[in-house]
Chains A and B, each alone.
Chain A
């Protein structure tokens, strides 16, 4: 794929970064953790502890129980096998996903855990933003316009969400549409990574190093074993993408190119929004900040962790606040 930077790439990236804390907050919602515990899953393990990096990375959010996380997000695909959840999520050790899904389907079924997910996500957002936050109708209208042209072909998580009933509250509708955009991008990202020849472990290691995180911090959090991480590092070194333990210039470029390919594959949603994408980003940003202040999402999303400085420049030109991530 070409490396040409474009207005569309900047728009697509900025939209995903603005959406992330608002819709990705489902994974840190105490209300969702409680709903899963009621179904029989384990409780939230609480805030990250154990090492300085993890405490600072997760920044005081209530982490999800692993089995509940895999089941609640994987259940979007239906009563599906663990290997397929691993294929769709793309970045987790399949062994961990398979064991979790097997356990999950002995506790409950996909419909119930997905219903709890929706309820928990919406309850948290309504607690933080209110049941009728200012501009909710306009944001929902814009999200709906962005979702309308998207195809389910090759996008299993987006496809699964498309088949679910729409939540009935204003915040619920906004969240569902935002989650559809988030998962559409995720599906596109996994397809682009598969096409570029990265397996899940290699992709996580490359992201971790490009983001200047300590070796085997972020990637190890996706349940890869020391042997799997070592094999991925060797492969990336062999491809010239790592120089010893650090990302090489080529590695940085490869990671940026993958993100730009993902942006291109999300072109239909930003084209549908036209210049209104700038308004949408502006309306989402204060909501994301409010969610983060209430520990509903962690300080720096994966997209922000490998942020291209051109995205910050684009935001400044639109008169919008910069994103929180460190850029290189």
Chain B
């Protein structure tokens, strides 16, 4: 999960309305399928078997994988890499949060075991919610064609996923292709905001404001403290990207920059969308309802309020 707008939040209207922007629509359709792995009891059980802690929950919230399990399981596709490298690849998390949590994670289980648990849990979770859809093989073939059309240079999680063998289970193969496309977009987004000269606190705050999310709430879950966020807001004010006063709004320049970054992210997905070509509408019409079924089945949050407030907090 990165600072892709609403990446943890998919609103029903996005799925049912015909978006004019294929890249945006595609992201919203894929996100619950790819990221159910972070909100899945089957995955959390598999991690507990390895020795990680239980999933984290709170009243009115979904249960999310415990932080070390989340970070290590998402990073393991790159190999058993040090925490500093995980920080670099994830992009939006506070290094003070990630580095010790990754070190702890690798002391509990190795990368190969974590990957196997993640895959096994993801398959079981998606099967529970989606059953055994008859279109699965056809859809997977299109998604695999798309997933292989991405570019690895500068895209670390996508490159890591590309290095793995395709799961033998049909649901696993489907999920892997979706996860590859998702991480390709996340990596592209990171390259776009890095290239725009922003840091994770700045892009995070701009994203929250742009999408009318409660300020600071989402990015607290990335290990940034109130103090970090206040200083970041001040930097954005100094650069004329947000207004004075509370709540801060994006200035027209800030809005323009945020939209430029999103457009640059979309543009980087062109090889993937080109590989889907004429199959796009049918693909989205088929898997859109699967995505909604995951959201409605509590397998992916519809709002930031559904993420346990203590998760990923440093303060």
Contact = CB atoms under 8 A, between A and B. Distances in A.
A binds B: yes
Nearest to B264: A195
A195 B163 contact: no
A164 B159 CA distance: 23
B199 A153 contact: yes
B91 A154 contact: yes
A79 B79 CA distance: 6
B103 to A, nearest CB: 10
Contacts of A190: 153-154
A146 interface: no
Given A81-B160, A84-B160, A86-B159, A154 B82 contact: no
Interface string A189-201: 0111111111110
A81 B195 contact: no
A154 B80 contact: no
A160 B154 contact: no
A84 B79 contact: yes
B174 interface: no
Given A90-B154, A154-B190, A199-B153, A194 B268 contact: yes
Nearest to A203: B153
B163 A156 contact: no
Nearest to A94: B152
Interface in B138-163: 151-156, 158-160, 162-163
Interface string B181-206: 00000011011101101011000000
A81 B154 contact: no
Contact of B191 (A88, A191, A199, A264): A191
A14 interface: no
A159 B153 contact: no
B88 A155 contact: yes
Given A86-B152, A163-B84, A203-B153, A154 B78 contact: no
Interface residues of B, number: 40
B87 A153 contact: yes
Contacts of A158: 88
A91 B153 CA distance: 7
Central interface residue in A80, A153, A156, A265, by most chain B CB within 10 Å: A153
Contacts of B162: 83
B159 A188 contact: no
Contact of A87 (B153, B197, B267, B270): B153
Interface in B196-237: 197, 199-200
A77 interface: yes
A187 to B, nearest CB: 8
B154 A194 contact: yes
A197 B153 contact: no
Contact of A80 (B81, B92, B158): B81
B78 A84 contact: yes
Given A153-B199, A159-B87, A265-B197, A193 B159 contact: no
Interface string B64-97: 0000000000000111111111011101100100
Given A78-B79, A88-B156, A197-B267, A265 B194 contact: yes
A98 interface: yes
A288 interface: no
A1 interface: yes
Contacts of B267: 197
- Of the four ranges (under 10, 10 to 19, 20 to 34, 35 or more), the interface on chain A belongs to 35 or more
B59 to A, nearest CB: 33
Contacts of A81: 77-79, 159-160, 163
A197 B163 contact: no
Given A1-B195, A155-B88, A156-B89, A193 B154 contact: yes
B152 A87 contact: yes
Contact of A191 (B81, B84, B194): B194
A156 B85 contact: yes
Given A98-B163, A197-B267, A78 B153 contact: no
Central interface residue in B78, B88, B95, B154, by most chain A CB within 10 Å: B154
Nearest to B76: A81
A81 B158 CA distance: 12
A20 interface: no
A94 to B, nearest CB: 6
Contacts of B151: 194, 199-200
Contacts of A248: none
Nearest to B188: A194
A84 B154 contact: no
A228 to B, nearest CB: 12
A91 B195 CA distance: 18
Nearest to A85: B159
B108 to A, nearest CB: 17
A28 B187 CA distance: 32
8 contacts: A80-B85, A82-B163, A83-B160, A163-B84, A190-B153, A192-B195, A194-B155, A200-B151
Interface of B: 77-85, 87-89, 91-92, 95, 151-156, 158-160, 162-163, 187-188, 190-192, 194-195, 197, 199-200, 264, 267-268, 270
| 9 shortest interchain CB distances as A-B pairs | A194-B154, A87-B159, A159-B88, A195-B195, A83-B163, A80-B79, A156-B88, A194-B191, A159-B84
